[in-house]
Amino acid sequence: MRVEGYSMDLYCDNDEGHDYRHGYNPRVFPDVYFGPDRATCRRDARKMGWVLGRERDLCPECSGKRRGWLEQRRKGELIC
């Protein structure tokens, strides 16, 4: 039996956008996506509002696509 898949852990690269320096906060980061391949994980992350670039990845809050996302994650209201 073989089980295969892809996992992607995303951290926001905006150093000025958060009141912490990517400290350990399991309710916020990492934002984890699973799928059969990389393309599926990237598509799901983009649907949630992530901006994935070659050098920087921005969370939905910093990208401006979903205001209030960070606060919802902190409260545990939004689970991906």
Q: Give the residue extent of every domain in the chain.
A: 6-75
45-72 mean pLDDT: 82
Per residue in 6-52, pLDDT (tens digit) is 999 988 888 776 655 445 555 567 788 999 999 999 999 998 889 99
pLDDT of residue 78: 57
Q: Which amino acid, residue 30?
A: P
Query: How far is the C-alpha of 80 from the C-alpha of 73, rounded, in Å?
Result: 9
Residue 41's pLDDT is 94
Give the pLDDT of residue 38. 94
Neighbours of 28 (CB within 10 A): 22
Residue 30 pLDDT: 78
**End-to-end C-alpha distance for the chain, whole angstroms:** 28
For residues 58 and 14, give the distance between their C-alpha atoms in angstroms, rounded to a whole number.
6
